[in-house]
Chain A
Amino acid sequence: MKTTYLLGAIAAATMVAGAASAQATLEAVKARGELICGSNTGLTGFGAPDANGNWAGFDVDLCRAVAAAVLGDATKVKFVPTTGETRFTALQSGEVDVLIRNSTWTASRDSELALDFVAVNYYDGQGFMVKKDLGVSSAKELDGATVCIQTGTTTELNLADFFKQNNITYQPVTIADDAEGQRQYLAGACDAYTTDASGLAASRATLPDAENHIILPEIISKEPLGPVVRHGDNNWGDIVRWTYYSLLIAEEKGITKANVEEVAASTNDEEVKRLLGLSGEMAVKFGLDNDAFKRAILAGGNYGEIFAANIGEGTSINLARGLNALWTQGGLQYAPPFR
């Protein structure tokens, strides 16, 4: 008799535990009144706290746009810094709602890690940074070099492949995050530092003697970086995906943070009207308020504005749009139609 009760209790407890982990992220975020966003531990331009402790950056602004769309307030975001090692576990375990942290979209992360990459907000590739006086002008001249590499990243695997394909050798020094990588690189513990080219540009920008360091021309991999959500909660994935696309469409249609109200009042473009919640009930179908995507645009501006403000030409990172230009301007950034 006792055993029966016990087994029943076990079964019940297990079911409760199971149900809890499958709870919809949207409801959880709304109930909490705060979006928890997994971010970088500190990568200038992409996601790092500024001198006042406020998070700023290209990835951070996307987090704020999602918060604005879901909660109506771009400031209601809690940023949880994650390293290359801890980021996916943090997402899987529900510690963060969404991970927007220079994470590369790969097949195994989609399948094996049970995660969903919902979009690509930055098309990147892996590069090398070396000191100028090393006298190296190509990554293929790095035979025998010591290379600093962030552990738990795709770059680790690309690096091994690149050196093998070119029949050259290297000595890896594994490091945990960007800050330690910079320290080791500057101390001379490694000849070259490798990570995504955007990350290298960001690191280089913070060096006191940036002109003495060069980024080698070779880009040895495709690194599509984008926001990640847990596999299985499709509605939440759709919300993050379309918040991002709304910023792209806004740029395409010339809607900026400054003129969004003006456009809303004067436009006769049906897609813009749907996007800004003036006709139809597009956002409601996602489980959001109808002006959710308008609020997302108001949070930090359209994609182009976010890019220019954080990492574009003229900032210390100084990255060209390149592959990340809109498809209408020869880039890869393309949003499906909003209808």
Chain B
Amino acid sequence: MALAHDAPKDSFRLSMLIYDTRYRAVTIQVFVLILVAAFFAWLLNNTIENLAIRGKEFNYGFLWQRAGYDIGQQLIPYTNDSTHFRALLVGLLNTLAVAALGCIFATILGVLIGVLRLSKNWLVSRLMTVYVEMFRNVPVLLWILLAYVILSEVTPSPRDFKAAEGVEPAASMVLGGTVAITNRGTNIPAPMVDHPLGGFEIGGIPVNFTVLAFISVIVASFWANARILTAARLKQEATGDRPTTWWKSLLVLFVPVIALSLALGLHWDIPALAGFNFKGGILVAHSFTALLVALTLYTSAFIAEIVRAGILAISKGQSEAAFALGLRPGRTMQLVILPQALRVIIPPLISQYLNITKNTSLGIAVSYLDLRGTLGGISLNQTGRELECMLLMMAIYLTLSLTISTLMNFYNKSVQLKVR
């Protein structure tokens, strides 16, 4: 045994890198790494040289130049005097708006359909099968276009809302005269405050104190409510006596928001017909609605299948045991099956969320100015910086996707089976 350890250490020769099995694997890996690095260096060098031949240099300076074009939907203040970077932010927020709402709606709808597809009711389960097969087997681009065409062709034009003398207008506003649906978009009331708290900008990124105040108050309310419920649960577990919480919850959830609204003078700006279009309120363009609806319906079909698979993965004994304990089917699903199924559901769900985020770039088909439309569309065209814009856009989508999967992986860890 001792002899085996006494290999000579001081006689390392260069040829051992190839002939000695201890080093060979490392040698090969280092060599391949150099080759790969050299290949990418060549690609980069080639690109830069070819750009130089065409008199172009790789430069992101254009981001700080005046954009000069207008954007229909903007969640932060933007005019054509703003920079291309600001246009990028507007586009990015438009992307995030569709992606976030799409993920929420698709999850709700998907879980509902997935559960209903397992229903014992023959009609319900067949209808859900038809839904799933219909939506997931047609390209999402077609659903987007269909939704857009339906929205813009069947809705009245703004002029139909005009009341002529003695003639009823051909169309009228809905929801108590606060919402107008025209062939251009949906005009909804806008929240306005009399005493805004102002804001500032960090490096072109605007921060609005009014919005921040509302968000922090709402988050704090929910957190406080969660604390109240936890305290109640702990007391129930300790004493078997659950304290009344409903009025505390209502108080904590609503009073701070109402107080803040009163303090800031919140009121609603209701859209009204003026000239060619409705003025005031917020215009939710049909491109946004169509994209959101189509992505939601399409992705919910996939989520439904994921949910169904997750539920079927739970052993039948679990539900039988729950029934034996006297739980009704709804409560069984809610308390026993779904919490366990989540472990199977979450990982594939992450990739569906990533799909929604990436599919928002299909908004170009209905002229929705998301990141692809501003940075990768108009800014790219007006400045002629294809490479810079495309690389930046890819980096942004990559960051978005990685952020979403990181967050979801944290959530996944929290619902996984804990081995104690």
Chain A residues proximal to chain B, CB less than 8 Å: 3, 6-7, 10, 13-14, 17-18, 21-22, 84-85, 88-89, 92, 108-109, 112-114, 134, 142-146, 151-153, 156-157, 159-161, 164, 170-176, 187-191, 230-232
Contacts and interface: CB of A to CB of B under 8 A. Distances in A.
B184 A14 contact: no
B162 to A, nearest CB: 12
B80 interface: yes
Contacts of B367: 151, 173-176
21 contacts: A13-B42, A14-B49, A17-B46, A17-B50, A18-B46, A18-B50, A84-B381, A88-B384, A113-B384, A151-B381, A161-B80, A171-B184, A173-B72, A173-B184, A176-B367, A187-B153, A188-B183, A190-B184, A191-B276, A230-B54, A231-B55
B277 A171 contact: yes
Contact of B68 (A114, A146, A157, A187): A157
A116 to B, nearest CB: 11
B377 A144 contact: no
Contacts, number: 119
A17 B275 CA distance: 58
A237 to B, nearest CB: 14
B75 to A, nearest CB: 16
A171 B373 CA distance: 16
A10 B50 CA distance: 14
B45 A14 contact: yes
Contacts of A171: 72, 184, 277, 283
Nearest to B277: A144
A99 B323 CA distance: 74
Residue among A7, A88, A160 having the largest count of chain B Cβ atoms under 10 Å: A160
B70 interface: yes
Interface in B209-229: none
Contacts of A145: 275-277
A17 B276 contact: no
B369 interface: yes
A142 B275 CA distance: 9
A165 to B, nearest CB: 11
A162 to B, nearest CB: 11
Contact of B152 (A3, A10, A18, A189): A189
Interface residues of B, number: 41
Contact of B46 (A7, A14, A84, A175): A14
Contact of B184 (A3, A146, A230): A146
B69 A143 contact: no
Nearest to A141: B275
Contact of B378 (A7, A89, A174, A232): A174
Contacts of A3: 34
Contacts of A114: 54-56
B53 A156 contact: no
B91 to A, nearest CB: 12
Contacts of B276: 134, 142-146, 191
Nearest to A133: B159
A156 B367 CA distance: 14
Contacts of A88: 384
Interface in B222-273: none
Contacts of B286: 189
B335 interface: no
A152 B377 contact: yes
B45 A10 contact: yes
Interface in B82-104: none
Closest 6 pairs (CB-CB, A-B): A152-B381, A160-B80, A113-B384, A144-B275, A114-B55, A145-B276
A114 B34 CA distance: 35
B42 to A, nearest CB: 5
Given A152-B378, A187-B152, A92 B72 contact: no
Residue among B49, B68, B283, B383 having the largest count of chain A Cβ atoms under 10 Å: B68
A256 to B, nearest CB: 40
A109 B382 CA distance: 9
Given A6-B38, A144-B276, A144-B277, A156 B378 contact: yes
